[in-house]
Structure 1
Amino acid sequence: MNNHVRRLHRGSRAAVGLAALMAASVLAGCTTSSSPDTSSDVESFDWKNYEGEELNLLMSEHPVSAAIKENLPDFEEKTGISVNLETLSESDYMVKILTELQSGSGNYDAFMTSQPMNYQYAAAGWIEDLQPWVDDAKQTAPDYDFDDFFPALIEAQRWDTTDFGGAGEGGLWAIPANEEGYALFYRKDILEANSVEVPQTIDELIAAAKKLDGTEFEGKTINGFVSRGDKTFPTLNPFSTFAGAYGVKDITDGKATVNSPEGVEAVSKWVELMQTGPQAASTYTWYEAQQDFLAGTSAFYIDADHMAPDFEKEGSAIAGKVGYALPPEGPEGRSSSLWVWSLGMNAASEHKGAAWQFIQWATSKELLTTAISNGNMNPTRVSVADSPEMAAATEGWGDYNTVWKEILADHASWPYAPSSTWTEVGDIWATAIQSAILEQASVEEALDDAAAKIDAAIE
C-alpha cells in the first residue's frame, strides 16, 4: 500500500485511542444547529465574490491535501481568497481538529473529515450542513455538477443525528474527496497452476482457499487466504464483505445484534476462511496482511481496493500477477464497507462563503483529475473515474478499473450504526472475531459476550 493508504489506516487506528475523548466531547456539545443561512449580499455566483477574504484550513498529510497544496496558487488567483493550509500527521491531526472544533473558536474554516468524525461533529453542532450551500445557485458554481459524485459516497456523508439510526438521511456533512471499497484480490498464476476458477461466492472462496492452502508454488508454501485479524475496528472493513453478504447489523433498535443467527453464520464463515491463512494472521493489521500478499505467499486477500498501486508498482514481486474481483456473494448478495475522506466546513467559521468556494474547487472535476497524479485513488466523481487520465494511470492493472467502480456503484455503503461510540463498538466486535479465530471461544460464545459488552457501552 502506498503512503497515503498507510496514513489513512493509521488514522483509523488513531481514532480508537480518541474514542473516549470524542464520546465525552459529544455529550458536552450542543445539539445540531438549525439549517444554515447561506444568504449574503452576493447577487449571483462569481468566483470573485469573496475576494480579499482569508481562509485557514487544517488537514491530514494525505494525497488529498498534497494535491490541494500543490494547486492552491490556482485557487487563490481564481478567487482572490488567500489560504493558509496547515497539514499534520494523521494522529496529530485527529487530536487537533477535535480540540479546535470543541473550542468553538472558528480558527479553521474547513478541514478533512470522515464518516465516524462526521457523526461526532454533527451531533455536537460543530460541522456545517452543506446541502443548503449546494442548493443555493448564488453560492454554487453552475458547472459544479453535484450529481457527478458516486451516490454511495454522498449517502455516506448524510446523517440526521439520530443515535444508531438515520444514516444516509438528513444533513450533508461533507463533500467526498477520496474513497476505498473492499475487493477480492487473487493470484492469477497460482489459480491457473492449480486449475482453480475465480470464486464468485463465499462458499466457493472458502473451498478454493482450502484447496490451495499448503500447496507449493515457485518454491514457496502458499496460504489459502490472508486478511486483517487485529482486534480493532478497522478489521471490520474487510470482514464487512461477509457481514453485509449475510445481512448482519451491529445495532438494531438500540441493542447489539452482532450475535444474531446471521451474525454467527457470517463470523463462522470468516473464521473458516481465516484458518487457511498464516498462523499470525489473527494479529494482522492491514499492513502485515498486505506485506504477506506482496511477498507472494497467499492466494487470496480481501482488503481496500486501492492497494492496487503497491501490487502493480515497478519492482513488485507480484506486479501483473494479481487479479481483481468483486467481494464474494452470500445469501444477501455482495457487499462492501467504504471509508471516505471528505471536506467539511466549521459551523463556527466567519468565512463560510469563501470556505464553500474552497470546498467546491477542491472537489471539482478539474482538481480531482489532477489529484490522480498525486496518488489520490480512487476518484469520488464518476466523470473522473471514467477519465482518460484514470485509465492511463491504471493501464495494465487488469480488471482493477472496472472492479473498483462496480464495487462503489453497486455494493459499497457504510454498514454500521452511526453514533459517537462507534469505534468502541467496533473494537468489541473485532475482539470477538479474533477470539473465535484463535479458538479461545466458540463463535456463539464470543459474539454473545460481545453483544453484552456493546449494550453496556451504548447505554
Structure 2
Amino acid sequence: MPSENRRKKKEADTILRKKLSRRAALSTAGKVAVGVVVAGVIAGIGGYYAGSAAAPGKTVTETKTVTGPASTVTVTKTETVTKTVTGKPTTVVTTVTTPTTPTVTTPTTTVKPFSYKEAAKPYKGVTLRVVTENTPPAVALKEEMVPKFEEETGIHVEWEAVSWGDMYAKEISDLEAGSGVYDAIYIEQDIIYTYMGRGWLTDLTHFGDTHPELVDPNFEPDDFTSFGDAFKDPTTGHFYAYPYEAFLKTYWYREDMYEELGVKPAETWDEFIELSKKFYEWGKDKEPRVYGCGFQMIGITLPYLFVEGFFPPHGVYTWGISLEKMRASVEKGGTLNSDRAIKAFEDFFELLELAPPEVKTFSWGGNVDAMAAGRTPHGPCEYSESAGAALRKNPDLRIRCALPPLEPFVKEEVMARAKTDYWKAYVNYYDGGAFGIPYCSKNKEAAYLFVQYMTGKEGSMVTATRSFAPTRKSVLDELVGSDLDKKTGYFSLVKEKDWMYAPAPPFREHKLLIERFYDKWIHKIVAKEVGIKEGLDQLAAELDEMLEALGY
C-alpha cells in the first residue's frame, strides 16, 4: 500500500476509536435449514420354484419376554417348517421365510422443563456488569426485567445506562484491552459489523449449540422481526447479538391537527411540502404558534438526518455508497452527488423555511417533543421510540404514523425487490440495538442466560408497550389490533411493512465516515457555505479516496 494510503488508513483507525455524541440524548432532552433424513430398509423374500405343486408351509412362533433393569424386550422368533410332497412324477420343495420382528419397549422418561433457576444454579452469586445507552427501552428493561431475573436466578446485575458517547467509550476501551470489565454490552445496528470484524463478540448461535443446558427452548431466535437480521453474520447466519429494541424511522403526525385542518397524510415529498405550507399559514393564529414542520438538526444529528432520514425516501440508499463498488460518487458507481441527493437537500431547505426558530436546537427526538408541545404538526422521519416516550408521558396525545413521504420511483423500487434484499431499496431506517457478549467476558455462561432473559418474549413486550420498540413477531401478533395500535397504527405498520425499511448498510466504517466526512460537508451545505452540488461533489470525492485507502 502506498505510504499515503497507509497514512489515511492509520488516520481512519484512529477516528474509529474516537468518542462521538450520537444519540447522546433521546429528546431535546441464509436461514439455516436442518434436514432430517429417514431411511427405510425393505427386506425381500427370496425363494425358488421347482416343479408344479407345493404344500403350504407351517409357521411356528415362539415369544420370549426378557425383563432387564432398564427396559423390557419382547423377541418374536419365527421358524419355517418345510414339507416335501412327493407326487408323480415330481417332488416339490417350498420354503417360506417370515422375518423375526423384535419389539423394544423402553421406560418413559420425564424431561424437566427448562428453568432459569435450575440453569443458573452454578452461577448463583455471580455479578454481571452491563453497559447500554440510556434509551427508553433500556430503562424499561432495567426497571421491569432485571429485578425478576435477579430473583429467579440469584445472579446480580450492575447495569450502567449512560449517554451514547460514554457507552461506546467504555465498551471500546474494554474490548481493545481485553480486560473483561463488561459481560453484556449494547450494540447498535450501525456498529455490529465493526465489532464482528474485529472479533470482539461471542458467536451466540455457536455458544448455544455448545452449551445446550443454558438454552431456553422457548427463546426462538426465528421469532425476531426482520430487524434481527442486522445482527447476524452475513456468511454463516449466526447471531452475534440479540435485539432488544427496534423501531422504524418514519412519518409521525398530530392526528387532531390533521382533523382540524381536514387533511390526510402526504404520500409524496411534493405533497408533504404543500401540506407543511398549509399548516404554517393555519398555525399563525394559534396559541402556541404552530409551524409547518420540524426535524433533528443539532450537531451530529444533522448528518444522520440525511443518511438515515432524507436520503432513502429520495432514492439515495446505503448512504449514497454503492455496496457493489464501494464508491460514493456517481462517476464511480455511487449516488451521493446524484440528482436524487440534490433533490433531498432542496426539499430540506423548503421545509426549513417552515420550521420553528428553535429547530436548530432539536436533537434526536426534538421534533416529537415539539409535536407534543403543539409547535409542529408532523415530522417526515422521526424515531418511533421518541413517539412511544411522548405517549408514555402524555397518554392523551393524539399522534399516528404512516409510511414516509416518498419520491414516486422509490416505492416502485422497493416493491420490485425481494423482501430480504433490504439495502437494494428502502423507504427509511430500521433502527435499534441489541445485547452482545464481549469475547473477553469472564462470565459468559451467566451473561448468556441474562441476554436470553432480556430479549425473550416478555422483555420484547415490555420494550414494545413502553417505547414502541418491538423485536418479536409473536409480540406484534398480540399487539396488532390493541388499543395502542388502534390509536397510533404503529404495530400494524411494523408487522405489515417493516420489510420496506432497512438497517444500517453492511460495512464497518459508519462512525469514521459520519464524523470525518458527512458531518463536515452536510453542515457546510446547510450553512450555505457551499452550494448543494459543490458540497456533494466534494463529499463524494473525499469518501471515494478514503474508501480506496481502506482497501475497498
**TM norm. shorter chain > 0.5:** yes
- The structural deviation recorded for 1:142 is 1.8
* Residue type at the aligned position of 1:304: Y
Aligned residues between the structures: 410
Q: Deviation of residue 341 (structure 1)?
A: 2.0
Task: List alignment gaps of at least 5 residues for structure 1.
Answer: 1-18, 26-42, 161-165
1:382 maps to which residue?
473
Q: Which segment drifts farther, 231-240 or 354-363?
A: 231-240
Contact 1:50 1:354 (C-alpha < 8 Å) held by counterparts:
yes
Question: Is the contact made by 2:190 and 2:505 (CA closer than 8 Å) also made in structure 1?
Answer: no
Partner SS for 1:339: strand
Which whole-Å CA distance do the structure 2 matches of 1:275 and 1:416 have between them? 31
Which residue of structure 2 aligns with residue 356 of structure 1? 448
- Structure 1 contact 231–427 (Cα < 8 Å) conserved: no
- Look up the equivalent residue of 2:384 and give its one-letter code: D
Deviations 1:424-454 (A, max 9, x none): 4366335444444443332211211222333
Using the alignment, how far apart are the partners of 2:297 and 2:147 within structure 1? 44
CA distance in 2, matches of 1:370, 1:432: 40
Match of 1:326 among 386, 397, 403: 403
Q: Which residue of 2 aligns with 1:294?
A: 372
For the residues of structure 2 that align with 1:385 and 1:22, how far apart are their CA atoms?
39
Written as runs of structure 1 = structure 2, the 5 A alignment for 1:399-410 is: 399-407=489-497, 409-410=498-499
Shift of 1:287: 4.5
The 3-state SS of whatever aligns with 2:410 is coil
- Cα pair 1:110 1:343 within 8 Å, conserved: yes
Counterpart residue number, 1:214:
281
Equivalent residue for 1:337?
Answer: 429
- Deviation digits for residues 352-384 of structure 1 (CA, Å, limit 9, x no counterpart): 3332222111111123334557x3431211222
Map of 1:200-349 to 2, 5 A cutoff? 200-215=267-282, 216-233=284-301, 235-237=303-305, 240-248=308-316, 249-250=318-319, 251-252=321-322, 253-256=325-328, 257=334, 258-282=336-360, 284-301=362-379, 302-313=381-392, 319-330=396-407, 331-333=409-411, 335-349=427-441
Q: Which one of the candidate residues 483, 486, 508 is aligned to 1:419?
A: 508
2:53 paired residue number: none
Q: Retained in 2: the 8 A contact 1:337–1:413?
A: yes
Task: Measure how far apart 1:65 and its partner are.
Answer: 5.3
**Larger Rg, first or second structure (1 or 2):** 2
Cα distance, 1:240 vs. partner?
A: 2.9
- Partner amino acid, structure 2, of 1:52: P
The answer to whether residue 126 in structure 2 is matched with residue 52 in structure 1 is: no
- Offset, 1:135: 5.3
Partners of 1:70 and 1:198 lie apart in 2 by 36
Identity over the aligned pairs, expressed in percent? Answer: 23
For 2:481 and 2:262, the matched residues in 1 are separated by: 33
Structure 1, residues 196-228: CA drift from partner, whole Å, max 9, x if none?
A: 332112221122122332333534543221112
Structure-2 residue corresponding to 1:9: none
Q: TM-score, normalised by structure 1?
A: 0.77
Superposed displacement of residue 315, structure 1: 5.6
Structure 2: state its 5+ residue gaps: 1-11, 19-111, 329-333, 412-425
Distance, in Å, in 1 between the alignment partners of 2:203 and 2:459 is 23
Deviation at 1:66, TM superposition (A): 5.0
- Paired residue type of 2:473: V
Deviation at 1:298, TM superposition (A): 1.9
Contact persistence 1:243–1:266 (CA under 8 A): yes
Q: Is the 8 A contact 1:274 1:437 kept in 2?
A: no
Q: Verify the 8 A CA contact 2:303 2:522 in the aligned structure 1.
A: no
1:442 to 528, 531, 546: 531
Say if 2:292 and 2:376, in contact at 8 Å, map to a contact too. Answer: yes
Equivalent residues in 2 for 1:70-149 (5 A)? 70-72=144-146, 74-76=148-150, 78-79=152-153, 82-90=155-163, 91-133=165-207, 139-149=214-224
Q: CA RMSD in A?
A: 3.4
Decide whether aligned partners of structure 1 residues 180 and 221 sit closer, same or farther in structure 2, where only a CA change above 3 A counts.
Answer: same
DSSP 3-state at the match of 2:219: coil
Larger displacement relative to structure 2 (345-354 or 335-344): 345-354
Which whole-Å CA distance do the structure 2 matches of 1:113 and 1:287 have between them? 20
Q: Does 1:454 align with 2:527?
A: no
